[in-house]
Structure formats: C-alpha cells, structure tokens
Amino acid sequence: MMNTINASGADSTEINQRLSQEDGEFFIEGCLGQRFLGAGMGGGKHIRISGIPGNALGAYLNGAEIETQGNAQDAVGDTMNAGRIIIHGNVGDTAGYAMRGGKIFIRGNAGYRTGVHMKEYQRHIPVIVIGGRAGSFLGEYQAGGLIIVLGLNEDEKPIVGGFPCTGMYGGKVFLRGDARHVSFPPQVTLRPAEQGDMDEISGHLNDYCRVFGLDSARILASPFTVITPNSKNPYKQMYVTN
C-alpha cells in the first residue's frame, strides 16, 4: 500500500515524522524546497518525491531508497551510509559529500564538488553515477569509492569541469570517453580502462541503466578513462597515518 504525503505547507520535520512511523512505499507530492527529506532513514522504505526537494536530500541515509522525479538541490546524500538515491533530473553542488556507502544515480548533470571527501568504510564502497556531466572539483579530496560520469548529453560540452580530482588520495573516477583534453593535477594518474576496471563498474552501470531505461550494452561498449591517485601522491601522507 502506497502512503501519500502532501508536502504543501508542511516543513521537513513534519514530513520526516510521517516517514519514520512505518516502513513501506511513500509518495511525497507537492514538494517545494523542504530540506533534509529522508535524512537518516533506514531500510524498508521506498520514498518517491514529486516536486523539488531542498538541500541535503537523504543526508545520513542508512538504507532507504529515495527517488525524485525531477531535479534536486545541493548536498544530496550528504554523509550517507547505505541505501540508494535516484534523481531523474539534475542535482546541485556537493552531491555525495563525505558519503561512505550506498549509491547515488543521477540521470542528468551534477554541480560542483560532487563526491568531495567521499570515502570507503569497512566493506561499504560508495558509488555515484552521473548520466550527464559534472561540474568543477569532481572528486575533490576523494578517499575511496567510485565516481562514474557518462556524458550522455551529446551537446559537445566537456564531460567534467575544471580542477577534477584535486587532492584525491583514494578511490577511482571513471569518465566515459577519452579524457586527455581535461587538465588534471599531477598527483593523479590517467589510463584507459582495462577489462578488470570494467568488471568493477559493470554491475553498477547495469543497475543504473535498468533504473533509467538505458541501453547498458551500448554504454559499456564505450571506452572509459580511469583516474586514480598517483602511487607517489603526497596528499595521502597528509591524511592517512599507519
């Protein structure tokens, strides 16, 4: 049974209280900028949103699934631990800030600093897949996890903005296509994706394509570029101690 919540005139505290009362399917209609929707929600909930949620959608998410039919604003999935967030439009800045588990699937474009301070936690490997392009400072200070940018817009604009992977000292970034024209810092290494790399991301891309009705075979047949920290990366010594 679908539980419908009318967000018109309600604040995020009221809505989250309704969401926390029981597990199951929820449909939030008339959403207009309410922040922190679904924050900290555990598994057993599938939350669908009509309208535009405010900042920090799914912050600290702990297993629930959140799906918005349009765009979302800044800080989607801030510090999330587990679960999945699906955005059928574009997102603002800092999506996946410090996330340490779960998945964020974005059909359109992402703003600045996507995946900043993203990290792995024990067996939890966070994943962000962006269907369009990403803004500047993608993967800034990334310490773990996977960021995949597909560049499906076909509008001849760069797949990623300026200063990508600045301060990166863990994890991987995958860019569909040849990224040699993009300026990266010397502390990271670029190389064509090999079969082992594609095996690492194919399950996530198949899942992404099922969600958005895309042809996974065509996307996986494309060449990808992998960006990883340089083995002599001085950033690692600034943040990691043995």
pLDDT tens-digit series, residues 41-88: 999 999 999 999 999 999 999 999 999 999 999 999 999 999 999 999
Q: How far is CA 141 from the centre of its chain?
A: 15
Which of 89, 120, 146 is the endpoint of a domain? 89
pLDDT at residue 93, as a whole number:
98
pLDDT at residue 234, as a whole number:
56
Give the residue with greater pLDDT, 226 vs 2.
226
Percent of the chain beyond pLDDT 90? 86
Q: Is the pLDDT of residue 204 over 80?
A: yes
Spatial CA neighbour of 54 closest among 68, 65, 40? 68
Which of 89, 113, 129 is the endpoint of a domain? 89
Which of 30, 60, 89 is the endpoint of a domain? 89
Domain count, the chain: 2
Q: Is the pLDDT of residue 104 over 50?
A: yes
Burial class (CB in 10 A: 0-12, 13-18, 19+), 76: buried
pLDDT tens-digit series, residues 125-151: 999 999 999 999 999 999 999 999 999
Q: Which residues contact 9 (CB under 8 A, 6 or more apart)?
A: none
What's the CA gap between 140 and 117, in Å, rounded?
7
pLDDT at residue 124, as a whole number:
92
pLDDT confidence band for 8 (50 / 70 / 90): very high
Spatial CA neighbour of 222 closest among 184, 181, 179? 179
Q: Is the pLDDT of residue 2 over 90?
A: no
Q: What is the phi/psi pair of residue 182, to 5°?
A: -85, 140
Average pLDDT for residues 1-14, to the nearest whole number?
92
Q: Are residues 38 and 21 in the same domain?
A: yes
Q: What is the phi/psi pair of residue 97, to 5°?
A: -55, 120
pLDDT at residue 242, as a whole number:
46
pLDDT confidence band for 110 (50 / 70 / 90): very high
Q: Is the pLDDT of residue 235 over 60?
A: no
Residues 188/229, Cβ–Cβ less than 8 Å:
yes
Structural domain span for residue 81: 1-89
Q: Are residues 113 and 228 in the same domain?
A: yes
Q: Are residues 222 and 157 in the same domain?
A: yes
What's the CA gap between 114 and 4, in Å, rounded?
31
Q: Is the pLDDT of residue 240 over 70?
A: no
- 3-state SS string for 30-98: EEECCCCCCCCCECCEEEEEEEECCCCCCCCCEEEEEEECCCCCCCCCCCCCEEEEEECCCCCCCCCCC
Q: Are residues 131 and 17 in the same domain?
A: no
pLDDT at residue 220, as a whole number:
95
Query: From the CA atom positions of the chain, what is the Rg in Å?
Result: 18
pLDDT at residue 91, as a whole number:
98
Q: Is the pLDDT of residue 95 over 70?
A: yes
Q: Are residues 71 and 183 in the same domain?
A: no
pLDDT at residue 238, as a whole number:
52
Q: Are residues 69 and 108 in the same domain?
A: no
Q: How many CA atoms lie within 13 A of 149 on its CB side?
A: 29
Q: Are residues 50 and 141 in the same domain?
A: no
